[in-house]
Amino acid sequence: MSIFETSGLGLAASVRAGEVSSRELVEAHIDKIERVNATLNAVVWKRYEQARAEADRVDAAVRRGETEDFGVYAGVPCTVKECFSFAGKPHTSGLVARRGWVAREDATAIQRMRSVGAIPLGGTNVSELCMWMESDNLVYGRTNNPYDPSRIVGGSSGGEGAIIGAGASPFGLGSDVGGSIRMPAFFNGVFGHKPSGGMVPNTGQFPLAENEALRYCTVGPLARRSADLFPLLRAMAGPDGHDTFCADIALGDPDAVDVGALRVIDIPHNGVVRVHPDLRAAQERVRDVLSAKGAKVETRCFAALEESLSIWMAMLQAAGGKTFSHMLFEGRQPSLARELVRFALGRSSHTLPALGLALVERIGPKARGLTERSLELGRQLRSELDEALGTDGVLLYPPYSEPAPKHGAPFRPPLVLKPKGAWRHGAHISAKWSYTAVLNVMELPVTQVPLGLNDAGLPVGVQIGAGYGNDHITIAVARLLEEEFGGWVPPWEAGPHAVR
């Protein structure tokens, strides 16, 4: 297995054993980034010279036999999402008004990754203000998928997903308030973990959630191999004294999980947005493998999932704090009609999805009835999921409705309207990203698991969820599924459109 296919833990072990130097790893991944980034546009700022110097310090310690203080990832290169502050580097979150903004200190999660020896090579692209599922903005441009550059990488951690999926970074740092770790992990064929709400501090992000939304927005790892998910989570978890909604949550041990003793809840769809046959078939393969291991499998639907989008929006709104429009326009309240005209004339400082989301936010409470009913449905769904999962259950759930779509497709249109349904309160409005978003406000741990490629050469996968605080269980299942299905498939082994 080449260094571009090995886990971060495996690379660190090779450095400690003297089989490869940290400098060699850093140089090789820099070279890989430079080769693929011309097509992907995933890495938007770089720190190559600093990374080389950090690698040289690790190598000197190896020669002295003094690597203990460098951490479990001593000498291993990585990448980080641009929305996290990194001292001396751009921190725009794709907002034109923040162009030229330079961070003064490292975000808590970055500090903790570096404290266990990881060496960041650069920062990766995002959607504008981290609130859309395409990583495209007017500061850095659009990021392309390593399996087919005509397709999206997801958002808002899309740059991370793309550069890891391309094999140019072993692992990286992302954040997730509506699927922003899991969708990029899915579309780019890698692993991603959304921790339990409040497990990892959000400190140092922009935009930064407020109040209870700090538990809905989570910080977690993306990686080409499942072996890196838990060590990275363990390194990042725990209060930092700044994020007041971060708690000291005990971490279990993935190695102690008996997958055959688990109960598996297979949720085939949300009742509104249809799931592509390739994704449904992949989820069925997972169900069959877990059943063969001895797990008790039950197929079940939860009626409240039909209202996933309304539940997500209502719970975020109820948490309070600055609105998306407030952050997008820096406290101003411009005419959105005028802004859309400016966009049509090529004079706007914003992307069309950002303007669209601002419009939805302004009309949403009235148009979608984001009332106590939606909040009550959210509370009901959380109670049902908590009871169903208990301490020994996992859920299987699609990460999206289809494999990576073409650029621009998610905005044409982003919403799906269903006539009167289970709740008998008029039409249900949902969106394809509600498959991931609703699990944020449920605060459940969720691991996105790659399951190979479909006939078109695009990644397929599944979300694995568990009860609150049981992150080790979802990661244990991810490890097993990687053994069974192979996990990430390098693009150089994929179809004719892949970036090599």
pLDDT digits (tens, 9 = 90+) for 382-420: 999 999 999 999 999 999 999 999 999 987 766 666 654
Q: Among residues 22, 169, 175, 180, which one is catalytic?
A: 180
58-112 residue pLDDT tens = 999 999 998 878 899 999 999 999 999 999 999 999 999 999 999 999 999 999 9
Structure tokens at 79: 């990448």
pLDDT digits (tens, 9 = 90+) for 301-320: 999 999 999 999 899 989 98
Q: How far apart are CA 387 and CA 442, in angstroms?
A: 13
Asked if residue 426 has pLDDT above 80, the reply is no
- Please indicate whether residue 180 is annotated as part of the active site: yes
Q: Residue 73: its pLDDT value, please?
A: 98
**pLDDT value at position 128?**
97
**Active-site annotation holder among 7, 14, 156, 374:** 156
Q: Which residue has the higher pLDDT, 339 or 146?
A: 146
Which token pair is 238?
């725990």
**What does the alpha-carbon distance between residue 57 and residue 396 come to, in Å, rounded to a whole number?**
44
Q: For the chain, what is the total number of helices (H) and then of strands (E)?
A: 16, 15
Is 156 an annotated catalytic residue? Answer: yes
Q: Which CATH superfamily is domain 8-252 in?
A: Amidase signature (AS) domain (3.90.1300.10)
Q: What is the pLDDT of residue 428?
A: 52
Q: What is the pLDDT of residues 165-218, one digit of tens each?
A: 999 999 999 999 999 999 999 999 999 999 999 999 999 999 999 999 999 999
Beta-carbon count within 10 A of 246 CB: 23
Q: What percent of the chain has pLDDT over 70?
A: 95
- Using an 8 Å Cβ cutoff, are 46 and 127 in contact? no
- Tell me which of 432 and 106 has the higher pLDDT: 106
CA distances from 426 to 274, 361, 393, 478 (A): 20, 20, 33, 39
> How far is residue 142's CA from residue 326's CA, in Å, rounded to a whole number?
24
**Look-up of token digits 């203990």:** 68
Whole-number pLDDT of residue 354 = 83
Q: Checking DSSP bridges between strand 446-453 and strand 191-194, what pairing results, if any?
A: antiparallel
Q: What angle separates helix 8-16 from helix 48-64, to the nearest 10 degrees?
A: 50
What does the alpha-carbon distance between residue 241 and residue 338 come to, in Å, rounded to a whole number? Answer: 43
pLDDT class of 364 with cuts at 50, 70, 90? low
Q: Does the annotation count 89 as an active-site position? A: no
pTM: predicted TM-score of the whole model, two decimal places = 0.95
**Catalytic member of 32, 46, 81, 432:** 81
For the cut 80, the answer to whether the pLDDT of residue 31 exceeds it is yes
Mean pLDDT in residue range 466-472: 98
Banded pLDDT at 427 (limits 50, 70, 90): very low
State mean pLDDT over 335-348: 82
What percent of the chain is modeled with pLDDT above 90? Answer: 81
User: Look-up: residue for tokens 């140092």?
Assistant: 204
Q: How confident is the model at residue 465 (pLDDT cuts 50, 70, 90)?
A: very high
- Given a cut of 50, whether residue 422 has pLDDT beyond it is no
CA distances to 139, 350, 451 from 97, rounded to whole Å, are 9, 10, 40
Q: What length is written for the chain?
A: 500
At residue 461, does pLDDT exceed 70?
yes
Cα(135)–Cα(41) distance, rounded to whole angstroms? 10
CA 176 to chain centre: 5
Mean per-residue pLDDT of the chain: 93
Rounded to the nearest 10 degrees, the angle between the axes of helix 352-367 and helix 308-318 is 90
Q: In the predicted model, is pLDDT for residue 342 greater than 60? A: yes
Per-residue pLDDT at 146: 98
In this prediction, residue 420 carries a pLDDT of 45
Rounded CA separation 26/189 (Å): 23
What is residue 415's predicted lDDT score, i.e. its pLDDT?
62
Q: Which pLDDT score is estimated for 366?
A: 52
Give the other-Cβ count within 10 Å of 214's Cβ.
23
